[in-house]
Structure 1
Amino acid sequence: MKFRDIRDIVDWNVYWLLFMLAEFSLLAALPYAITMSGDALYDMAMAIPTILAAQFARSTVIFLVGIFTGLYLGKKVGLKTPVLSSLFEDRSLPSDFKSSFSISVLYGVIISFLIVILDTLVFTRYSESLLLYLTTPPLWQRFLYSFYVGVTEEVVLRFFLMTFLVWITWKVKKNSEGKATDAGIWLSIIMVSSIYSVVYLLFSREMMDPTIIMRVAAFNGIASMVFGWLYWKKGLEYSIISNITATIMIFVVFGSLVH
């Protein structure tokens, strides 16, 4: 393969911008993550810098592979990054940018209200408030962590995993335009939502109260459906915007009201 061919595989400008954004989001999450881990982090056999370096390296590899997968397979199945692509192609922003941006923010706000209402009116009857638990760290840590959640979840779950699953369904059946079918995309959205909830349950079962874990997994599953739809219909940037909006509303706005 010639060097020119390698350069044309994906838009490397978008690739490296997304990668740097994801890496910076990891750094932004550290203060919140350390605070929430409490004594558990100090009880581990390895030194804290070693643990953090290992987790950072693992996430970096996932980002490198995931972003490439999203760009490369996304072109085939019709999933895109319209805003970033327009910037690097010296084009104006997409004509629907303002409306899509507004919809993304609105959906993020609605999701946050839904989660807080369900947590407050329903689940707190059986266990402590999820909102109180998640918003224990200082405001500045919660604010930075919101960007980590919004960027990392969308890059890994939507851009990487969802795109890969949509590509599999596309290989099985295409629509008349040669893109993935609606049924295939919805199946992928549901699968990503389910996988995320199950993985969260498995990896958090020894660190958090079981009722809180199940609640977080359920809420993440619901939100994942909306973010998946936004990625499909609007583009990755809008699912990131919506996710960040929802997380800021929960961790910063509502969190400040209960502390």
Structure 2
Amino acid sequence: MAAFWTVAGVLGTLAVFPYALALNPTLIAQLPMPLPVLVAAQTAQTGILLLLLCWIGLRLGQPLGLDAPIARAMVYRHKLPAVSRRALAGAMLAGTAAGLLLLVLDRLLQPLMPPTIQPLPAGIELWKRLLAAFYGGITEEILLRLFVMTLIAWVIWRTAYKAQLPPHAIVFRAAIVAAAVLFGIGHLPAAAGIWPLTPVVIARTVALNTLGGIVFGYIYWKWGLEHCMLAHFCADIALHVVGGS
């Protein structure tokens, strides 16, 4: 099971490379090694890290009911769980709505933002933007929801609630918010490559991504990892395709 999500996460990481290079065309000239060597090294490093984090997340999530039920059934050749069309539609709609809301908020905050460090490339090819959505939808959800949110929920459950079953809802709500804030903070290095890290840039980056993270975390809690991945993917489609970012 951990190997399944490791492969998915590595593929998601590879998918973001064309977009990242298009966003910063001078990056190739600054690379310390040839691009194929860097990609291979990054793939190996990411694979090892993801394997460990997936194993931890899946193991800690079992007593909490945090899981990837569809993938689990496929990997272990069990009967597929009943997949609610309403849940799938809800995840897609919630993700798309979150992405569009973030676009609107981003536009409203633009007058407060400082000038970019360097001109942003215009007209990044659609296929590169589409591929980037797989990184957010798969790899980021493995890192932030399957691992980070599950770990936080498990620690709260074991310490504050003495492993009481069923886990209290506050365990999940606290973990959702904490993981979402870390999700927002984790976007600061990318923001630093576009703007100077002024208080406005920091607040905007953390707040907007935290908002999205709360939506994805709630869906992970209620419907499982696959649904929150779908929601995040739809949000990124709205951001990268509709928003053109």
TM-score normalised per structure 2: 0.86
Q: 1:158 aligns with which of 145, 156, 161?
A: 145
Deviation of 1:56 after TM superposition, in Å, equals 2.7
User: Structure 1's 135 and 102: CA in aligned 2 closer, same or farther, altered over 3 A?
Assistant: farther
* Counterpart Cα distance in 2 of 1:66 and 1:29: 20
The answer as to whether partners of 1:170 and 1:179 remain within 8 angstroms in 2 is no
Relative to structure 2, which stretch is displaced further, 39-48 or 191-200?
39-48
1:232 and 2:221 are equivalent in the alignment: yes
Deviation of 1:69 after TM superposition, in Å, equals 1.1
1:38 and 2:25 are equivalent in the alignment: yes
Q: 2:190 aligns with which of 195, 204, 211?
A: 204
SS in 2 for 1:52: helix
* Counterpart Cα distance in 1 of 2:143 and 2:207: 19
The aligned runs of 1:90-105 (5 Å cut-off) are: 90-94=78-82, 96-105=83-92
- Tell me which residue corresponds to 1:126: 112
The answer as to whether partners of 1:143 and 1:251 remain within 8 angstroms in 2 is yes
The aligned runs of 1:106-121 (5 Å cut-off) are: 106-120=93-107
- Tell me which residue corresponds to 1:220: 209
Deviation of 1:112 after TM superposition, in Å, equals 1.4
Q: 2:134 aligns with which of 143, 147, 170?
A: 147
User: Structure 1's 51 and 206: CA in aligned 2 closer, same or farther, altered over 3 A?
Assistant: farther
1:111-143 CA deviation, whole Å, 9 max, x = no partner? Answer: 0111111122x112234899x959742101001
* Counterpart Cα distance in 2 of 1:199 and 1:128: 20
SS in 1 for 2:59: helix
1:21 and 2:35 are equivalent in the alignment: no
The answer as to whether partners of 1:204 and 1:213 remain within 8 angstroms in 2 is no
Deviation of 1:91 after TM superposition, in Å, equals 1.3
* Counterpart Cα distance in 2 of 1:197 and 1:163: 17
Deviation of 1:205 after TM superposition, in Å, equals 5.7
1:74-116 CA deviation, whole Å, 9 max, x = no partner? Answer: 112221112222334431432x521110110010111011111
* Counterpart Cα distance in 2 of 1:171 and 1:109: 35
Q: Give the 4+ runs in structure 1 shifted more than 6 A.
A: none
Q: 1:246 aligns with which of 232, 235, 241?
A: 235
Relative to structure 2, which stretch is displaced further, 54-63 or 180-189?
54-63
SS in 1 for 2:66: coil
* Counterpart Cα distance in 2 of 1:69 and 1:20: 16
Deviation of 1:29 after TM superposition, in Å, equals 1.3
1:190 and 2:177 are equivalent in the alignment: yes
1:57 and 2:81 are equivalent in the alignment: no
- Tell me which residue corresponds to 1:8: none
Aligned amino acid, residue 111 of structure 2:
R
* Counterpart Cα distance in 2 of 1:253 and 1:21: 25
The answer as to whether partners of 1:67 and 1:155 remain within 8 angstroms in 2 is yes
Sequence identity of aligned pairs in percent?
26
Deviation of 1:39 after TM superposition, in Å, equals 1.0
1:203-250 CA deviation, whole Å, 9 max, x = no partner? Answer: 336422136565333221110001001111110000000000110122
Aligned-CA RMSD value = 2.7
Give the number of the structure whose residues are more often helix, by fraction: 1
Aligned amino acid, residue 57 of structure 1:
A
Deviation of 1:159 after TM superposition, in Å, equals 0.2
Alignment gaps of 5+ in structure 1 = 1-13
The answer as to whether partners of 1:119 and 1:129 remain within 8 angstroms in 2 is no
